Amino acid sequence: MSIQNLSRRGLIAATAAAAAVGPAQAAERPAVLRVGNQKGGLRSLLEASGAAKDTPYTLEWAEFPAAAPLLEALNAGALDLGYQGDLAFLTSFAAGAPLRAIGAGRSSAAAQAILVKQDSPIRTVADLQGRKVAGNRGGWGQYLIRAALQQARVSSAGVNITLMPPSDASLAFRSGAVDAWAVWDPYVSLEVLQFGARVLVDGRGLTPAVTLVSAHEGAIRDKRAALADFLGRFRSAWAWAEAHIPDYARTNAALTGLPEPVLRQAYETERTKPVGVTPALVAELQAAAGHALEFGLLRQPLDVSRAFDSSFNAEGA
């Protein structure tokens, strides 16, 4: 069922429910915060840390396999907020989605990498000439491929860049249908530890490594107190995860089915920390947006400052 149909049915149900109760009863109901989650993401973080307990609102989680469908649902108003990579968010915002980023987490760019097989003859980025390289469209994968080629002074015209989601790219990479794969953790750690992949180059000095809490404009207008409370819990949860990596890896291994050593290595590499929406962060992503335009992720110049709402910095502290 499409997101549009889901949204339409949800709107009809919400309208009927509102008509069935009086204004006083409706006012007494706790707010509902509809949160988009990617498996092993926000939900497991908040629940493992205990930060999801005793919220003064109801949390309704919706599960998504990747950022693109999550952002589609957020754009349609079927969600209030979600958590996704910076470039995926900016691509959606540039296309007109009524969203704003209200919080962020920063990870090490070492958690993004271009992978090759252990026995691959590819030893340098220049060796990607004439090869097929997979990466996700409009996100860290596509950006990292182009940034690595640019740094190595290798023309992208000589590289077959194949854009596909991680679920498809993992199969293509393991089968040899593609020669290299640009992806992020925990996929990087999984391929290295379980399937013998080798890191050709990682994202340090090449890509932004920011994950954003983004909210629909309607939620920012109507559910501000709940969003601010959620951001405070988000920050507390990452502080817990930083100090309890083995516990966090164990919890997420049970949830995702990924091996615990894989997740432990991924979290050790990422070292995600919550950060505020600051002028420095906006400037950093403005520079990244300029490269994204050059690399074909964006179709036109973007004023990144319009995509952020810094007013939650103090409220979520």
Domains recognised in the chain with CATH numbers: 3-108+209-315 (3.40.190.10), 109-202 (3.40.190.10)
Q: CA-to-CA distance for 172 and 64, rounded, in angstroms?
A: 22
**Average of per-residue pLDDT across 93-116:** 96
User: What is the enclosing helix (H) or strand (E) of 210?
Assistant: strand 210-216
What are the tens digits of pLDDT across the range 30-41?
589 999 998 888
Q: Is the peptide bond before 186 cis (omega within 30 degrees of 0)?
A: yes
Q: What percent of the chain has pLDDT over 70?
A: 89
Query: What tokens does 289 get?
Result: 């947006």
For residue 11, report the phi and psi dihedrals to the nearest 5 degrees: -65, -40
What are the tens digits of pLDDT across the range 41-72?
899 999 999 999 999 999 999 998 888 899 99
Q: CA-to-CA distance for 248 and 272, rounded, in angstroms?
A: 12
The helix/strand/coil state of 5 is helix
CA 315-85-264 angle, to 5 degrees, is 95
pLDDT band at 306 (very low <50, low <70, confident <90, very high): very high
Cβ atoms < 10 Å from Cβ of 289: 24
What's the pLDDT score for residue 14?
Answer: 39
**Average of per-residue pLDDT across 212-240:** 95
Residue 6 confidence (pLDDT) above 90: no
What's the pLDDT score for residue 17?
Answer: 39
Residue 96 confidence (pLDDT) above 70: yes
What's the pLDDT score for residue 67?
Answer: 87
Residue 195 confidence (pLDDT) above 50: yes
Q: CA-to-CA distance for 240 and 272, rounded, in angstroms?
A: 11
pLDDT band at 314 (very low <50, low <70, confident <90, very high): low
Q: What is the pTM of this model?
A: 0.84
**Average of per-residue pLDDT across 207-229:** 95
Label residue 236 exposed, middle or buried (CB < 10 Å: 0-12, 13-18, 19+).
middle
Q: CA-to-CA distance for 142 and 149, rounded, in angstroms?
A: 11
What are the tens digits of pLDDT across the range 244-281?
999 999 999 998 889 999 999 999 999 999 998 999 99
Average pLDDT over the chain, rounded to whole? 89
**19 compared with 182, residue with greater pLDDT:** 182
Q: CA-to-CA distance for 96 and 299, rounded, in angstroms?
A: 12
CA 313-314-317 angle, to 5 degrees, is 85
